[in-house]
Structure 1
Amino acid sequence: MHNGRLFTIVGGIFGLIGLVLLCVGIALAASTASFLGSAERTDGTVVSLIARTTTTRGSDGHARSGTSYYPTVEFAVGGRRYTFVSSTGGNPPSHKEGESVPVAYDPDDPSDARIASFGSAFLAPLIVGGLGAVFTPIGAVLFVKGRRIARLRAWLREQGRPVWAEIEHVGRDFTVRVTNRHPYVVHATWQDERTGRTYTATSDHLRDDPGPRLRGQTRVRVLYDAADPSRNLVDLDARPSLP
């Protein structure tokens, strides 16, 4: 059984980030809707596209660059011309030079303007809110799973049936990565006296190699649920009593 603490921590972080993103997305959407509700409308023209390149570093350590194109829009109010750069860009560009676009502007300050199409106005709130809608349930599921594992571990320590299981394998678990490393695990097997079935218990993921502290030891203590032996816990701190 794996330690539920990791699930709880990761779930809490994901859930918190998700809630923050949801709140930010809702606030952005409300602010945009409020602006559009009081803004005046006119037509503008895309006069140029500004290329902005951003560089990110992936989990593999490699840098990746991406370029987005932001339209510069020109429009006229009361015989005076105004220009603004849209806060929404894309690749491929969502607009092209010379294209006519709807513009919403603040009648008290026409320099405060934006493209009035739904995609341009609400793209940022949709992206931020969408990420929040994804992160929040993932975080909730991981958090609940972590708490259930923690409760099961506590129950097994208090009421689990003990057995000394034979160590079958000590080594790295190459199926997962923790902090970019394959953790160590201990596998141990035992036979249920009532059913004769053989069960395997897997320890928590371990940062350090447990081999040195288990040197000369052929068995480890396992606590399991008698009604369901697959629910078990490897207790690496226990030592077999000397004969």
Structure 2
Amino acid sequence: MYMSKADKMVRLMWRIFAGMGGLFVGIALAVALLQFQDLEGRVETQAQIVDFGNGGYPIVAYEAQGQRLTCQLNFRSSSMQLGQPITVYYRPEDPGQASVKEYLFPLIFGGIGGLFLILGSIGLAVLRRGQRRREQVFYHGRRIKAQITGYGLNYSVRINNRHPFILTCQYYDAAGNTLYTFKSRGIDYNPSQFLAGKQEIDVYVDGENYRNYYVDLGSVLPDVKVVQG
């Protein structure tokens, strides 16, 4: 079955979305796991923000092993204020170094990744559904001979600053006294030289349902490689 460059680009775009989303989610999960492992074995205690050091990082004071200690955290947030209570964690063997739970990065990174993954997966699912529908009609549908009525640019689609061509054709159903018009999928090149002298094209329809159809460009056009200068 013919697949235009536009179809391939759309599929590639959704694959990139899904791939980037999966990568972002994986990174967020890995960071969250590392942070969870880092907190294992630490002792939880309540601290208070007493100052802000270089770069706006908070300095906290807390009680640990009978001592009052201070340290500068390696995490900051715009919501932190002087005198604010905060939960910190320290290792018994090194009580002078405390840390906090940092969920912001995994949540934001994972949220963006999850959105990309969902959008990419939905896009690919829609493409696969359309491809299966066309294959079903092509391999199991009824073939009719439609009259080629013309071709032109599809201005609703642009790939690399170029609009693909589409071919239009018609079929007259004498039994129902109905004229059906069909449009092909995108064509990567001007098909005029290959359509010279050709009046008919194969169209596959789903039984008597002419709304579910597939215009077989391969029946009149060669599968040529397009090189753009």
**TM-score, normalized by length of structure 2?**
0.67
The equivalent position to 2:99 in structure 1, one of 105, 113, 116, is: 113
Contact 1:173 1:183 in 2 (8 A): yes
Residue identity matched to 2:60: F
What CA deviation, in whole Å up to 9, does each residue of 1:81-126 have, x standing for no partner? 54345376xxxxx247757462634433755634x5xxxx222222
Measure how far apart 1:175 and its partner are: 1.9
- Find the aligned partners of 2:43 and 2:181 in 1 and give their Cα distance: 67
Matched, 1:211 2:197: no
2:113 equivalent to 1:132: yes
Deviations 1:178-226 (A, max 9, x none): 3554332222222333323333322222332323322454443222222
**Is 2:55 aligned against 1:44?**
no
Aligned residue for 2:185, secondary structure, equals coil
Contact conserved, 2:195 with 2:220, CA < 8 A, in 1? no
Question: Aligned runs of 1:1-243 on 2, under 5 Å?
Answer: 3=3, 9-35=12-38, 38-41=42-45, 42-45=47-50, 47=52, 71-76=56-61, 81-86=70-75, 94-95=78-79, 98=82, 100=84, 102=86, 104-107=88-91, 108=94, 110-111=96-97, 113-114=99-100, 116=101, 121-179=102-160, 181-239=162-220
Give, in angstroms, the shift of residue 232 of structure 1: 1.4
Moved more, 29-38 or 137-146: 29-38
What SS does structure 2 have at the residue aligned with 1:156? helix
Indicate conservation of the 8 Å contact 1:22/1:129, yes or no: yes
Q: Which has the higher strand share?
A: 1
Offset, 1:8 = 5.4
Worse overlay, 128-137 or 38-47: 38-47
Change (3 A) 1:129 1:221: same
Cα pair 1:36 1:104 within 8 Å, conserved: no
Residues of 1 paired with 2:206 and 2:74: CA distance?
64
Runs (5+) with no aligned partner, structure 2: 222-229
8 A contact 2:49–2:82 mirrored in 1:
no
Pair 1:109–1:14, CA change in 2 (3 A) = farther
196 and 124 in structure 1: CA distance in 2 versus 1, 3 angstrom threshold: farther
The structure number with the bigger radius of gyration is 2
Judged with a 3 Å threshold, the aligned counterparts in structure 2 of structure 1 residues 227 and 25 are, in CA distance, closer, same or farther, namely farther
CA distance in 2, matches of 1:200, 1:30: 58
Amino-acid identity (%): 23
User: Contact (CA 8 Å) 1:6, 1:146: kept in 2 or not?
Assistant: no
CA contact (8 A) 2:206 2:213 kept: yes
Aligned length: 210
> CA separation of 1:17/1:195 partners in 2, compared to 1, >3 Å: closer, same or farther?
farther
- Per the alignment, do residues 96 and 16 of structure 1 end up closer, same or farther by CA in structure 2, a change over 3 Å counting? closer
Q: 1:25 to 1:216 in 2, by over 3 A?
A: same
The 8 Å contact of residues 15 and 135 in structure 1, kept in 2 or not, is answered as yes
For 1:39 and 1:211, locate their aligned partners in 2 and report how far apart those are by CA, in whole Å.
77
